[in-house]
Amino acid sequence: MTISLNFEQFECEQSEAPWVVLIHGLFGNLDNLAVLRRALQSHFNILAIDLPNHGESPWVETFTQLECVNALHDLLAQQSIDKCHVIGHSLGGKVAMQMALHFPQLVTSLVVLDIAPVTYPPSHQAVFAGLKKVDLSAIKSRKDADNVMQSEIKIAGVRQFLLKSLYQDTQSNWRWRFNVAGLEKDYAHISHFEVPKNQQYKGPVTFIKGGESNYITREHESVIGQLFPAANAKIVTGVGHWLHAEKPQVVNKLVLRALQQ
């Protein structure tokens, strides 16, 4: 079954400008990379997507990275985009890497924000616990939800990020835009990275790492080199996993330089 992804398209005034696809991370939506999108918009046409189980894209029975890739492939065909740069953060970076490995002919270049092509140990148990503690039928405001989540999710910035996806529907019922139960059920598919056999992406790849983040380490260099032989790395000092939110101007410049090389 084909998944019809929610997306927004931003066309550049320059004729024949190349396309860039932006892919957000876990629990996010297409607005998460809006600052980066605005920095690129004068040079590129932009396609920003909501992954399945996120934003306004459909909720699915089983979330896998390959399903995301196939859905993006279909969307590009529908929009008559036959070549594009692909940029992804965290889970979005995994989807971006899989896109380049499975459909290299569609990918001009790849920019990966603070994630490696590896399987990570579980690290979101507290987030799921905090989200499940929120009784959506009982809360009156985002502040109520924030108070409930505090016992499980200690970092205020993480709670504020999650709360961006809490909204009231047309009947004034509180809802999460992401599928909490589905994402928890399929978490193994999210943390996993299936390395395709005998496949490489030989085009230009830039990994941008947060200097305080441990999502990309020296141990990951060999698998990165194996899958992406033309890869290079940049480090943004003084930031963690949310590097594009913490130092947007630095990250924006690095991304623009990577796309124009």
- The pLDDT assigned to 235 comes to 97
CATH 3.40.50.1820 range(s) for the chain read 7-119+192-260
Answer yes or no: 241 catalytic.
Answer: yes
Write the single-letter amino acid at 244: H
The structure tokens listed for 159 are: 């709670």
**pLDDT tens for each residue of 137-160:** 999 999 999 999 999 999 999 999
Q: Check if the beta carbon of residue 238 is closer than 8 Å to that of residue 251.
A: no
Q: Classify the phi-psi angles of 102: left when phi > 0, otherwise alpha if psi is within -120 to 50, otherwise beta.
A: alpha
Answer yes or no: 192 catalytic.
Answer: no
Q: Check if the beta carbon of residue 205 is closer than 8 Å to that of residue 110.
A: yes
Count CA atoms closer than 13 A to 52's CA, side-chain side: 25
Mean pLDDT of 197-216: 95
Residue 2 has pLDDT above 80, yes or no: no
DSSP string computed for 13-37: SSTTPPEEEEE--TT--GGGGHHHH
Residue 183 has pLDDT above 70, yes or no: yes
Calculate what percentage of the chain has a pLDDT beyond 90.
94
- The pLDDT assigned to 197 comes to 84
Residue range 7-119+192-260 in CATH 3.40.50.1820: yes
Calculate what percentage of the chain has a pLDDT beyond 70.
100
Q: b/e map of 112-123 (b: 16 or more CB within 10 Å)?
A: bbbbbbbeeeee
Q: Which of 85, 124, 241, 244 is catalytic?
A: 241
**pLDDT tens for each residue of 13-56:** 887 899 999 999 999 999 999 999 999 999 999 999 999 999 99
- The pLDDT assigned to 1 comes to 59
Q: Which of 90, 109, 124, 244 is catalytic?
A: 90
The pTM (predicted TM-score) of the whole model is 0.96
User: Nearest Cα to 92, choosing from 37, 131, 142, 132?
Assistant: 37
Q: Check if the beta carbon of residue 243 is closer than 8 Å to that of residue 236.
A: yes
- The pLDDT assigned to 15 comes to 75
Mean pLDDT of 109-124: 97
Q: Check if the beta carbon of residue 137 is closer than 8 Å to that of residue 100.
A: no
